[in-house]
Chains A and B, each alone.
Chain A
Amino acid sequence: MYTDLLGQQFVHNALMAGAVVGLVSGAIGFFVVTRGASFAVHAMSELGFTGAAGALWLGLSPVVGLVGGSLITGLALGLLSLRGRERDSAIGSVLAFGLGVGVLFLSLYQGYATEATNLLFGSVVAVSRPQLAGLAAVSLLVMAGIAACYRPLLFSSVDPDVAEARGVPLRALSVITYLLLALTTAEAVQVVGVLLVLTLVITPAAAAQRLAVNPATSIVLAMLIAVAATEGGILISLEWGPSSFWISALSFAVYLAARAAGWGRLRMPA
């Protein structure tokens, strides 16, 4: 039975999509975690949902609305470059209203509610070949963006004061980070859904930070954890349960293990 499933095209598509999205989520997650911007990820995915619900209502492709909603949120956050508490409360306020609008769009939409459920909780097994190609193209774009900006991105994330003094354009990098993050978020939504994007973007990167002591290792580790959790989750879900649950469970298990291991490391004398 199980081996029959493994031969199916839709399973292959799901596994490929999982790998592609896991890689970018882990990579961008490193910068999100070092910048302390986890809440921004949540805002982008939920406002991406608003965009998708609006697109459904207008009879457009929900993916277009999803990417649009995330990108607009990312652009706004990047341009505002808010810090600390101000950013926290601003995101919270905008996010709440945006979700409310999303609910309105859904109630206006007369079609199948499955579309909405898929957006909220993900439907990686429903990814088609053309969708897969789209995911791969966007992932490639995000990875190229991260590579092109790697050093100033790292500098401005871990040491903004000196980075600014050395001529790193902080605001431009903030915009770039949030735009790359918005694209990643719009991708991850299609695999795990709006409500679980954090499980691919934040959890693996947070686990990796506990295990690695330098940026490059930390990024690679986050990518590996995200891919492993996604593929593992998809494979287990073929037997029982929704894939999004299993992906979040595996990702969280690695996080807990990393915390336990990291706790031991931090307790060692310096």
Chain B
Amino acid sequence: MTAAPVRVDGVGLRFGRRVLWEGLTFDLGASEFLAVLGPNGTGKTSLIRMIMGLLQPAGGVVEVNGRPPVQARSGIGYIPQHRAFDRDLPLRGRDLVRLGLDGQRWGIGGAGRKLDERVDRALREVGAAAYADQPVGRLSGGEQQRLRIAQALVSDPGLLLADEPLLSLDLASQQMVTSLLDARRRSAGTPVVFVTHDVNPVLSMVDRVLYLAPGDWAIGSPREVLTSETLSRLYGTPVDVLEVRGRIVVVGTPDDHGAHHDDEPA
């Protein structure tokens, strides 16, 4: 039996004396799509950083393909939040994607035909070939995020981690991002961990939801987790989960101001 792409066993997150969660346990299976939900400041980004080996858990074990995360980094594709590049940054789309392939290696790196071909293939896969030679800072948010996906896919990763990749994108670009990730996991069996504050753009493709609430967590299918009972238990206060025209709306959480915050403390 091969090791799970991600194994999280009894993991805790603590900042100083503040405990965010304890005993977090789940396995991610091949080609599984896991959405990580929850309000700001509950450690969604920290979980991603643990899986990448950039943050030590307070107790417990995190493994990627049966190995410590630090040793498994080369097999992870990471898609960050959209953050605009400077308009005059001398970096083309294909340069950005190329960095995802060998940017971590020392030295200048020669002009390898094989590497160029892999970059071209990744650019075509996400439909970004047309503007691959433009400076990234002059592209739209959606175009930049397409390049981000190509950058994550070009190394042929066995695991995709996306941290709020839809933030500040228009609806069409959001759909493009989610469908590209969905296509990848269907064609190559690459599991996806997808951090988001809004489950609706990915609801049709989500296998399981990990909901991180202040001080507690729950994992299961969307039908199990996104219910009034489960969320009321997590928040310790009455929370209503409504289904409106196929969209899930959560009402009554303590941070429910009807507005979303763009950033979250690590």
Which chain A residues have a beta carbon within 8 Å of chain B's beta carbons?
A: 34, 147-152, 154-155, 158-159, 161-168, 208-210, 212-215, 217-218, 262, 266, 270
Q: Whose C-beta in chain B lies nearest to the C-beta of A159?
A: B99
B256 at the interface (CB under 8 A from A): no
B108 and A215 contact, CB distance less than 8 A: no
A208 to chain B, nearest CB (A): 7
B88 and A210 contact, CB distance less than 8 A: yes
B99 and A213 contact, CB distance less than 8 A: no
Which residues in A have their C-beta under 8 angstroms from that of B88? 209-210, 262, 266
A35 to chain B, nearest CB (A): 11
The answer to whether A165 and B99 touch (CB under 8 A), given A149-B106, A152-B104, A213-B92, is: no
A203 to chain B, nearest CB (A): 15
B90 and A155 contact, CB distance less than 8 A: no
Which residues in A have their C-beta under 8 angstroms from that of B105? 151-152
Main secondary structure of the interface of B (DSSP, over half): loop
B239 to chain A, nearest CB (A): 32
Q: Whose C-beta in chain A lies nearest to the C-beta of B79?
A: A162
Q: Within residues 71 to 130 of chain B, which ones have a CB less than 8 A from any CB in chain A?
A: 73-74, 76, 78, 80, 83, 85, 87-92, 95-96, 99-100, 102-109
9 closest cross-chain pairs (CB), A and B = A155-B103, A165-B78, A218-B90, A167-B73, A166-B104, A161-B80, A150-B108, A213-B135, A155-B99
B104 and A163 contact, CB distance less than 8 A: yes
A158 and B107 contact, CB distance less than 8 A: no
Q: How far does the alpha carbon of A149 sit from the alpha carbon of B140 in the complex, in Å?
A: 31
Q: Whose C-beta in chain B lies nearest to the C-beta of A212?
A: B90
Which residues in A have their C-beta under 8 angstroms from that of B54? 164-165
A162 and B151 contact, CB distance less than 8 A: yes
Chain A to chain B contacts (Cβ below 8 Å), 14 pairs: A34-B89, A148-B107, A151-B105, A152-B106, A155-B104, A158-B89, A162-B100, A167-B70, A168-B103, A208-B90, A209-B90, A212-B90, A213-B134, A266-B87
Main secondary structure of the interface of A (DSSP, over half): helix
B205 at the interface (CB under 8 A from A): no
Q: How far does the alpha carbon of A168 sit from the alpha carbon of B134 in the complex, in Å?
A: 25
The answer to whether A167 and B74 touch (CB under 8 A), given A155-B103, A162-B99, is: yes
Which residues in B have their C-beta under 8 angstroms from that of A208? 90
Q: Whose C-beta in chain B lies nearest to the C-beta of A166?
A: B104
B48 to chain A, nearest CB (A): 9
Q: How far does the alpha carbon of A232 sit from the alpha carbon of B104 in the complex, in Å?
A: 39
B91 to chain A, nearest CB (A): 5
Which residues in B have their C-beta under 8 angstroms from that of A155? 99, 103-104
A214 and B95 contact, CB distance less than 8 A: yes
Q: Whose C-beta in chain A lies nearest to the C-beta of B77?
A: A165
Q: How far does the alpha carbon of A165 sit from the alpha carbon of B95 in the complex, in Å?
A: 17
Which residues in B have their C-beta under 8 angstroms from that of A34? 89-90
Q: How far does the alpha carbon of A148 sit from the alpha carbon of B108 in the complex, in Å?
A: 7
Which residues in B have their C-beta under 8 angstroms from that of A168? 103-104
A151 and B106 contact, CB distance less than 8 A: yes
Q: Within residues 192 to 216 of chain B, which ones have a CB less than 8 A from any CB in chain A?
A: none
Interface centre among A147, A149, A208, A215 (most CB of B within 10 A): A215
A166 and B103 contact, CB distance less than 8 A: yes
B234 at the interface (CB under 8 A from A): no
Which residues in B have their C-beta under 8 angstroms from that of A270? 131, 134, 138-140
Q: How far does the alpha carbon of A162 sit from the alpha carbon of B133 in the complex, in Å?
A: 20
B106 to chain A, nearest CB (A): 6
A167 and B108 contact, CB distance less than 8 A: no
Contact check: which of A147, A165, A212, A262 meets B73 at CB < 8 Å? A165
Which residues in B have their C-beta under 8 angstroms from that of A147? 107-108
